[in-house]
Amino acid sequence: MALRRVTGCALVVALGALAGCTAQDSPETAPAAASQPPSVEVTDVDDVVGDLDVPWGLAFLPDGDAVVTLRNEAALVVVGPDGSATDVTGPGADELTDLVVPGGEGGLLGVTVLGADGTTVDLALYATAADDNRVLRGTLDGSVLGDLRPILTGIEKAGNHNGGRLAVGPDGFLYVTTGDAGDPPSAQDPDSLNGKILRITPDGEPAPGNPDDGSPVWSLGHRNVQGLGWAPDGRMFASEFGQNTWDELNVIEPGANYGWPEVEGIGDGFVSPVAQWPTTDASPSGLAVTDEGVYLAGLRGERLWRVPLTDDGVGTPGALLEGERGRLRAVEPAPDGSLWVVTGNTDGRGDVRDGDDRILRLVVD
């Protein structure tokens, strides 16, 4: 495939270090960091695969292939670096067809690898069912998905704000993001699973060392977290949709309260984001962390934001692929050092281009 050279330009935003901004500040009056180009650029970008119907989550398998969720089809596809795309079949695939009830932002959402034994890979999936959002576990052998079992149920569902991202942390436990499901006060309710980041064992039990014994809640006060990742120094980052004012990049600490619905963006009395954007510029979905930066896939913003990592925090964000490929749903570091980016133009909110949706392979220098 032909390679296309793309350079980034920045349009930013206020950083968490800029104190004094509250949820009442408008994008025009809130303090903002000086705009500057990112210190890296995309030197190569090409399509891995196209013609995917509302792809949402992506996780790399031990053999270098990736498993991709299709939100509305309630299906999985195994994608190879060579562009091959194989539909996942088997009893688990049939169960997904029967179980998942797509609608609005719900459907088959996040996926992550819990472990592997030879060719058999242990997967976790986040799915919207008839009565709730839930986390499922099953084994994938090649392109055959075995029987599924629910390991966490009872996460409230809605047309919007279903959360859905899954990730295994450096500690080996499973982290689950949930949205407020249209009920903002639930984000402040410690007894609710909604508006939270949850930390559980691979069997769905509250993980040992959680802030409250017996509770899966790791952090609270979230509107709709859509991305998770860890820096080499152990910092945990999360991307979060704002409502009307500020989207956020947060550093997650156990037991911390990030303010929703009392605060949107930087504000008093809660943990403030380390970076924030007007909602027109970001709507950050999936997130990837590399040795040098945090990358956020922007839906409404139609760009890939890079936030450089520094020894004592983060630097000034810069934008890559701005307006080049439309809405961006997910981003993951690939085994070869590139970034795989999932576009999100077929979700009913984007302008569909020929070949959408697709997975892009980016090389960033």
Write out residues in the chain with pLDDT < 70, as ranges.
1-38
* Rounded Cα–Cα distance for residues 168 and 291 (Å): 18
Q: Which pLDDT score, from 0 to 100, does residue 245 have?
A: 94
Q: Are 68 and 40 contacting, i.e. CB atoms less than 8 angstroms apart?
A: no
- Rounded to whole angstroms, the Cα distance separating 276 from 350 reads 23
Phi and psi based region of residue 238 (left: phi greater than 0; alpha: psi -120 to 50; beta: remaining): beta
Tokens of 254: 């156990």
pLDDT at residue 6, rounded to an integer: 30
pTM above 0.85, yes or no: yes
pLDDT of residue 37: 59
Query: At 227, which helix (H) or strand (E)?
Result: strand 225-230
pLDDT number for residue 253: 98
State the pLDDT at residue 257.
Answer: 98
